[in-house]
């Protein structure tokens, strides 16, 4: 663990010794702010109408009407943004020849892969932590429930972790950073919209496709339904891609 952290520290350092880290945070907060204020604006208009109609007023729910849509919308941006964070992790090392340093060190492949993944998770965590500032305003001016908020953030974190596990794998596969960003974008999108295909399927096939798609699992968490099935889905998804990454790096180390 300590050794993996050495790698993670180096990766985090490199994010912030180049503009990458700052640009990613800036753009993320910009987009988050846009989605969040749009949701607040819409909620504001809606509550004005609701003030004249007790039926609408009952339906007002700040969790589902502000935070939920923001979480859902930001995932679209995650699709584009997160592969850009993982693309250089292995591809750049291979291109610059620095992977030889890692492979001839006494570190195990698991520590190297784990350290790099850890660094990307820390980036994701910091992004989410920064975005949580906007939630402070909701607590100041409203009274949202804390549980769905937390499970929504957990969903966002797990979804991001899944995106980045795919990204890490393709970064290990190629030395071209462009390839390492485009393939995960497409593949993640595919996993994301897989459930569209489920609408025309039926029976077992529909069940399988629905299970494989991110959407169902993610939406459950955003709605505040904490189901271990969804957690297991995301963890096994990440584990699968990390395992593949481990195998790729392991085989390269022997060459």
Partner 1 sequence: MGAAHDVFEAPDAVKRAIGYLPEVLPLYQDMTVSAYLGFVAEIKQVPKAKRKASVARVVASAGLKDVAGRLIRNISRGFKQRVGIAQAMINDPQVLILDEPTIGLDPAQIMEIRELIRGLRGEHTILLSTHILPEVTQVCDGVVVINEGRLMACGSLEDLAASVSSADGVLVKLRRAGAEEAALFRGLPGVDKVSAEGSELRVEWRRGRDLRDDVARLALDRGLGLREMRSLAGIEDLYLQIVSGRAEQ
Q: Which residues bind partner 1 (CB under 8 A)?
A: 3, 6-7, 10, 13-14, 17-18, 96-102, 104-107
In terms of CB distance, is 106 or 203 closer to partner 1? 106
In the complex, minimum distance from the CB of residue 92 to partner 1, in angstroms, rounded to a whole number: 9
In the complex, minimum distance from the CB of residue 99 to partner 1, in angstroms, rounded to a whole number: 8
In terms of CB distance, is 23 or 133 closer to partner 1? 23
In the complex, minimum distance from the CB of residue 97 to partner 1, in angstroms, rounded to a whole number: 3
In the complex, minimum distance from the CB of residue 112 to partner 1, in angstroms, rounded to a whole number: 9
In terms of CB distance, is 19 or 207 closer to partner 1? 19
In terms of CB distance, is 80 or 107 closer to partner 1? 107
In the complex, minimum distance from the CB of residue 100 to partner 1, in angstroms, rounded to a whole number: 5
Judge contact between 107 and 3, C-beta under 8 A: yes
In terms of CB distance, is 104 or 143 closer to partner 1? 104
């Amino acid at each position: 663990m300590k050794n993996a952290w050495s790698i993670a520290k180096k990766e985090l350092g490199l994010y912030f010794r180049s503009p990458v880290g700052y640009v990613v945070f800036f753009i993320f907060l910009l987009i988050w702010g846009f989605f969040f204020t749009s949701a607040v604006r819409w909620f504001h208009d809606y509550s004005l109408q609701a003030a004249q109609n007790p039926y609408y007023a009952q339906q007002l729910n700040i969790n589902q009407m502000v935070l939920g849509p923001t979480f859902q919308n930001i995932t679209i941006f995650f699709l584009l943004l997160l592969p850009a964070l993982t693309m250089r992790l292995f591809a750049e090392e291979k291109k610059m020849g620095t992977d030889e340093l890692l492979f001839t060190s006494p570190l195990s492949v698991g520590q190297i892969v784990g350290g790099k993944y850890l660094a990307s998770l820390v980036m994701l965590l910091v992004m989410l932590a920064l975005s949580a500032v906007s939630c402070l305003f909701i607590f100041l001016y409203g009274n949202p429930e804390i549980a769905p908020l937390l499970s929504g953030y957990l969903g966002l974190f797990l979804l991001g972790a899944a995106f980045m596990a795919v990204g890490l794998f393709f970064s290990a596969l190629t030395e071209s950073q462009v390839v390492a960003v485009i393939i995960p974008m497409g593949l993640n999108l595919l996993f994301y919209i897989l459930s569209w295909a489920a609408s025309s399927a039926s029976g077992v096939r529909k069940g399988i496709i629905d299970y494989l798609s991110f959407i169902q699992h993610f939406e459950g968490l955003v709605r505040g339904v904490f189901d271990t099935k969804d957690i297991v889905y995301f963890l096994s998804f990440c584990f699968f891609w990390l395992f593949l990454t481990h195998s790729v790096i392991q085989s390269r180390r022997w060459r």
